[in-house]
């Protein structure tokens, strides 16, 4: 995208987020009609994913979930852009923590945390963590191809004090903080599709053979950090609550891939309960098990765990 188009987009979004949130949600409703009914943005992908995940649901129920998802998808974009102007008090009011004592206890023990979660609810509002917790909060991210949007999202995520870390520097930075005695919460999105050469673990996720990222588990074991699942629940439009679900405080004593399996199962349960809040437009099942096994055999790839 040329710089001029980006600045036009940025100016429009900046002006939009100056409006009262109820007006922004009205615009979100209009955007839903545009992208779902008129443009059909990734609608085939979303409907296909839903049919794969919920084969027992009727076509009408699948379409209903898809519509609710796209409404939430538009809301989530508006809410994320609102980080441009949202103040601390409003952020605290809209994004609450159900059981903060879980995190406070680990902080008193000087125990750093690997936080695992999925593209569910409004994960971008985890940018508010420094407003409540004394930890240094870090977010692992994959740099976007568009340098302008990359800078925009870094700015939004760092608004309240989160430090963004490129994926390639994850272990280096976490070891630096550990050696400096700085307790951290490091945020890992764990439901992204791994690139083929990095696949180490397959499991069943929403009924499908699925390769799962294992980086959060490997980092936790190398640094000895506690692992906590961040369960983001949407209470109503514009209001969320996070429940902290401890997975382990001693990752070194767990079997290989046990942590990965645990956070995958928690996310799966969450999605089955309220599927409209997961990111269904993501090509999560592009890697097919049969083709991967053929590729792995051809390239003599070993050490892959299949828990199917």
For residue 146, list its beta bridge partners: none
Task: Give percent helix, percent strand, percent coil of the chain, each to the nearest 5.
Answer: 50, 20, 30
Whether 140 has a pLDDT exceeding 80, the answer reads yes
Which tens digit of pLDDT belongs to each residue from 108-136?
999 999 999 999 999 999 999 999 999 99
Q: Strand 226-236 relative to strand 239-248: parallel, antiparallel, unpaired? A: antiparallel
Q: How confident is the model at residue 4 (pLDDT cuts 50, 70, 90)?
A: confident
Measured CA to CA, the distance from residue 29 to residue 111 in angstroms comes to 43
In angstroms, the CA 274 to CA 135 distance is: 30
- Pick the closest to residue 238 from 94, 123, 22 (CA basis): 94
Whole-number pLDDT of residue 145: 86
What pLDDT digit, counting tens, does each position of 242-257 carry? Answer: 999 999 999 999 999 9
Consecutive H or E run containing 114: strand 113-117
What pLDDT, on the 0 to 100 scale, is given for residue 34?
97
Domain limits, the chain: 3-303
Fill in the DSSP letter of residue 174: H
pTM of the model: 0.95
Give the pair of three-digit tokens for residue 22: 């109820």
Cα angle 96-99-102, degrees, rounded to a multiple of 5: 125
Place of tokens 């199917």: 308
Q: What is the pLDDT of residues 168-187, one digit of tens each?
A: 999 999 999 999 999 999 99
pLDDT of residue 1: 59
pLDDT exceeds 90 at position 144 = no
Mean pLDDT of 214-232: 98
Mean pLDDT of the chain: 96
Q: How many residues does the chain have?
A: 308
Pick the closest to residue 129 from 152, 106, 154, 163 (CA basis): 163
pLDDT digits (tens, 9 = 90+) for 16-38: 899 999 999 999 999 999 999 99
């Amino acid at each position: 995208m040329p710089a001029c188009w980006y600045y036009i987009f940025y100016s429009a979004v900046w002006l939009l987020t100056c409006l009262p949130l109820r007006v922004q949600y009205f615009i979100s409703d209009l955007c839903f009609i545009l992208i779902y009914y008129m443009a059909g943005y990734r609608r085939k992908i979303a409907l296909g994913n839903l049919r794969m995940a919920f084969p027992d649901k009727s076509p009408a129920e699948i379409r209903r979930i898809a519509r609710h998802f796209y409404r939430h998808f538009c809301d989530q974009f508006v809410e994320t852009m609102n980080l441009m102007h949202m103040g601390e008090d409003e952020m605290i009011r809209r994004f609450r923590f159900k059981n903060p004592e879980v995190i406070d206890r680990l902080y008193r023990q000087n125990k750093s945390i690997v936080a695992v979660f999925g593209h569910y609810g409004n994960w971008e509002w985890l940018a508010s963590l420094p407003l409540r917790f004394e930890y240094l909060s870090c977010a692992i991210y994959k740099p976007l191809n568009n340098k302008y949007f990359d800078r925009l999202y870094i700015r939004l995520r760092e608004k309240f004090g989160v430090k963004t870390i490129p994926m390639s520097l994850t272990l280096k930075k976490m070891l630096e903080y550990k050696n400096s005695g700085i307790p951290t919460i490091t945020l890992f999105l764990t439901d992204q599709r791994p690139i083929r050469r990095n696949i180490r673990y397959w499991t069943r996720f929403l009924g499908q053979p699925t390769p799962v990222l294992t980086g959060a588990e490997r980092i936790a074991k190398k640094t000895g950090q506690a692992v906590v699942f961040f369960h983001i629940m949407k209470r109503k439009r514009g209001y969320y609550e996070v429940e902290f679900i401890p997975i382990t405080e001693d990752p070194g004593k767990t079997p290989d891939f046990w942590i990965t399996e645990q956070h995958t199962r928690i996310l799966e349960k969450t999605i089955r309960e309220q599927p409209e809040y997961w990111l269904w437009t993501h090509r999560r099942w592009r890697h097919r098990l049969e083709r991967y096994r053929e590729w792995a055999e051809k390239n003599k790839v070993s050490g892959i765990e299949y828990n199917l």
